[in-house]
Amino acid sequence: MLTFHPIPTFRMETKRATSSAEKICPRCQQEKSLGGKRLKPGECNVCVVVQGAMEAYGEVLVKHFPEAKYGDQSPLTTFALLNALENAAAEWISNNFPKKKHGKAA
Ligand SMILES: [Zn+2]
C-alpha cells in the first residue's frame, strides 16, 4: 500500500530563532557564528567557502572541457555536492577556529 510522505525540510528550525536574525545566515538558515573571522557580511563563512568551491569546480570543468556547449548536471548531484561541501567546510572551520563568544564581532 502506498503512503504519502510530505517533502522533508532540509533545515531544522533554529532553537534561537527570535531576535537572532543577524545571527542566522539568510542563505543556509544556520547560525553564522561558526568561528574564524567573518569573510563576507551577511552570509556565514560556510556559505562563502561553498560558493567559492563551486565556482572553482566550474572553472576547472570549463578549463578541461572547453568544447562543452552546456554545463548540465542533475539537481540531485548538485545538491549532493553542495551538501558534502557544506559539511566539509563546517567541519574544517569548527575544527580549526574556536567559536566566538556572545557579542564579539568577527
Ligand atoms: Zn550560510
Q: Kindly give the distance from the C-alpha atom of residue 67 to the centroid of ligand 1, in angstroms, as a whole number.
A: 34
Residue 85 lies in a domain: yes
Residue 17 lies in a domain: no
Q: Give me the pLDDT at residue 7, please.
A: 47
Residue 52 lies in a domain: yes
Q: Kindly give the distance from the C-alpha atom of residue 64 to the centroid of ligand 1, in angstroms, as a whole number.
A: 30
CA distance 37 to 44: 10
Residue 5 lies in a domain: no
Q: Kindly give the distance from the C-alpha atom of residue 98 to the centroid of ligand 1, in angstroms, as a whole number.
A: 18
Host domain of residue 62? 36-96
Residue 105 lies in a domain: no
Helix (H, G, I), strand (E, B) or coil at 24: strand
What domain count does the chain have?
1
Residue 104 lies in a domain: no
Residue 59 lies in a domain: yes
* Amino acid at site 82: L
CA distance 105 to 5: 42
pTM attached to this predicted model: 0.68
Q: pLDDT in tens for each of the 106 residues of the chain? A: 455 554 444 454 444 444 466 788 888 888 777 777 888 888 899 999 999 999 999 999 999 999 999 989 999 999 999 999 999 999 999 899 876 555 555 4
